[in-house]
A = this chain, B = another copy of it.
Amino acid sequence: MNEQLQPLKKQPRAGKAGRSGTQDDIVYAHIFEAILEQRLAPGTKLSEEALGEIFGVSRTIIRRALSRLAHEGVVLLRPNRGAVVASPSVEEARQVFLARRLVERAITELAVQHASTEELAELRQMVNDERDSFSRGDRGAGIRLSGEFHLKLAEAAKNAPLISFQRSLVSQTSLIIAQYESGNRSHCSYDEHTQLIDAIEARDSALAVNLMMHHMDHIDSKLNLDEESASDDLHAVFSHLLQTKKPGRSSIKL
């Protein structure tokens, strides 16, 4: 019960997600991965002390990592009440998807203009990895890699603010997929990713944007955002029982 990774002090990279940054980057990346791969369920409490013990660092580091995660929207930071894995509501999911459509359209157009040959090759490699993960049955890694594909695309668009925003949107999208996906197995279909790369390489902006928009359609057609599937938001679960008054504490009509 008291297990702990090796102190990861100067260890160049720990596991897979190791970046070449300082400790909080490592902690950040690990928690991030764990959430996106659904090893941490939405609503799970993220105790600072427990995490600190697990990673062998002090609460200071954990706190910074949680703060970054909160900025990206995958963690909810409740004052004096601790951090929990975010569980986006249906409405929040819709907002994220709306914003993503917007950003993906722009990124696609820019990528058509600016993507280099090396970047296109990297993108193809990522699609391969993604396909491997899914065929290996590693759903979590698949979701993550699919997200990283879209992030790499944003980098090819060569616009720093958009990259940063896209990182946040992709994170939240992955969380939403993990939470709301209906049983359907073909997730972020990698075929569409491949076609998209082809269109970008051919510098066909109209086609690329079209493909991307259809891709977006497919993604949220796979989600059941209409009926809430076992939400842990009590207000949402029992909303049909509540009187729809505006402010104040809502009360059940018996």
Residues of B within 8 A of A79 (CB): 22
Residues of B within 8 A of A22 (CB): 79
Partner of A161, one of B64, B73, B158, B159: B73
Q: How far, in angstroms, from A160 to B172 measured CA to CA in the complex?
A: 12
A95 touches B64 (CB 8 A): no
Minimum CB distance partner of A94 in chain B: B159
Produce 1/0 per residue, A93-112, CB < 8 A to B: 00110110011001000000
Minimum CB distance partner of A67 in chain B: B67
Q: Separation in Å of the A30 CB from the closest CB of chain B?
A: 20
Residue A191 lies at the interface, judged by CB distance under 8 Å to chain B: no
State the main secondary structure of chain A at its contact with B. helix
A162 touches B99 (CB 8 A): yes
Produce 1/0 per residue, A69-99, CB < 8 A to B: 0010100000100000000000010011011
Residue A169 lies at the interface, judged by CB distance under 8 Å to chain B: yes
Residues of B within 8 A of A172 (CB): 161
Partner of A95, one of B71, B103, B160: B160
Q: Separation in Å of the A164 CB from the closest CB of chain B?
A: 8
Which residues on A are within 8 Å of B, measured CB to CB?
22, 64, 67, 71, 73, 79, 92, 95-96, 98-99, 102-103, 106, 158-162, 164-165, 168-169, 172
Q: How far, in angstroms, from A164 to B167 measured CA to CA in the complex?
A: 13
Partner of A159, one of B67, B98, B158, B160: B98
Q: Separation in Å of the A82 CB from the closest CB of chain B?
A: 15
Minimum CB distance partner of A73 in chain B: B161
Residues of B within 8 A of A73 (CB): 161
A159-B106 contact in complex given A22-B79, A67-B67, C-beta closer than 8 Å = no
B160 touches A92 (CB 8 A): yes
Residues of B within 8 A of A169 (CB): 161
Q: How far, in angstroms, from A159 to B73 measured CA to CA in the complex?
A: 13
Partner of A96, one of B106, B161, B168: B161
Kindly name the residue among A73, A79, A95, A102 whose own CB sees the greatest number of chain B CB atoms within 10 A: A102
A95 touches B161 (CB 8 A): yes
Q: How far, in angstroms, from A99 to B161 measured CA to CA in the complex?
A: 7
A159 touches B64 (CB 8 A): no
Q: Separation in Å of the A72 CB from the closest CB of chain B?
A: 10
Partner of A99, one of B64, B92, B96, B159: B159
